Amino acid sequence: MSAPVTLITGTRKGIGRHLVGHYVKQGHRVVGCSRSPIDWTLPGYCHHVLDIADDAAARQLFAGISREFGRLDHLINNAGVAAMNHAMLTPASTVEKLLRTNVLGSFVFCREAAKLMSRARFGRIVNVTTVAVALKLEGEAAYVASKAAVLALTEVLAREFAEFGITVNAVGPTPIDTDLIRAVPKEKIDRLVARQAIHRLGTFEDVTNVIDFFLKPESGFVTGQNLFLGGV
């Protein structure tokens, strides 16, 4: 069986970039994307610049994957944006931006990936939620709402895609030291970490550990699940 094809969104930096290196090292043929160009390359990795919520651009990306590889084994919907603010001071444009990238982007990619995966009657889709959903984190109303939507999407899609041999699961990281939390004051991060069962920031390896499990061919009976890190 030739090397699996893995599509990862939001690969310019942070968790997404780490996922690229991790799965290339495992011998996957990795395709990734971000809204801005990247300034790095990696053998075994191909990058595309697009907005994941752009339906037409997404269709073209998946048509290209179909033409080049004839298959798609894994999708990791890692791309996401956050915004910290009090709800009373949050403009509608911020909410729209979060919903568009986090919910619409994930939905469109789940839809297109499932179509491609259904041909082989095999697929693994992993979405990314956040412990902020379980912790009902103040200051993140729109972000948490968008990620709660991703969680619900995971659960329903798991049922819709099951008979096509596709599992759909989610991982909910704790804060990890990336740009997503760069603007969050340290005291707020410390208070959040204190609410976890295990009091530390997450690492990239904590995330890949869970995604590796979901992607395994042996995990074909695991679907519709969301795994929060840190014991939340």
Partner 1 sequence: MASGTITRKDIEAVVVQVLRDLVPSEDPAADPGPDTPLFGDDGALDSVGLVSLVVGVEQALEERFGAVVSLADEKALSQRHSPYRTVESLAEYASRQL
Which member of 35, 59, 97, 195 binds partner 1 (CB under 8 A)?
59
Nearer to partner 1, 25 or 159 (CB): 159
Tell me how far apart the alpha carbons of residues 93 and 121 are, in angstroms, rounded to a whole number.
Answer: 39
Residue 111 within binding range of partner 1, rule CB under 8 A: yes
Nearer to partner 1, 14 or 105 (CB): 105
Q: What is the 3-class SS of the chain, one letter each residue?
A: CCCCEEEEECCCCHHHHHHHHHHHHCCCEEEEEECCCCCCCCCCEEEEECCCCCHHHHHHHHHHHHHHHCCCCEEEECCCCCCCCCHHHCCHHHHHHHHHHHHHHHHHHHHHHHHHHHHHCCEEEEEECCHHHHHCCCCCHHHHHHHHHHHHHHHHHHHHHHHHCEEEEEEECCCECCHHHCCCCHHHHHHHHHCCCCCCCECHHHHHHHHHHHHCHHHCCCCCCEEECCCC
Residue 85 within binding range of partner 1, rule CB under 8 A: no
Residue 13 within binding range of partner 1, rule CB under 8 A: no
Write out the two tokens for 98.
């979060």
Write out the two tokens for 50.
């697009």
Query: Catalytic annotation on 143?
Result: yes
Min CB(62)–partner 1 separation in Å: 9
Residue 63 within binding range of partner 1, rule CB under 8 A: yes
Q: Please report, as residue ranges, which positions from 112 to 141 form the binding site for partner 1 (by CB under 8 A).
A: 115, 118-119
Which window, 2-10, 56-64, 124-132, 185-193, contacts partner 1 (CB under 8 A)?
A: 56-64
Which member of 27, 40, 60, 87 binds partner 1 (CB under 8 A)?
60
Min CB(115)–partner 1 separation in Å: 5
Choosing from 45, 122, 143, 228, which is the catalytic residue?
143
Which window, 17-25, 54-62, 94-102, 127-135, contacts partner 1 (CB under 8 A)?
A: 54-62
Residue 66 within binding range of partner 1, rule CB under 8 A: yes
Min CB(49)–partner 1 separation in Å: 18
Active site amino acids: 143
- Residues of the shown chain interacting with partner 1 in the complex, contacts defined by CB under 8 A: 55-56, 59-60, 63, 66, 111, 115, 118-119, 163
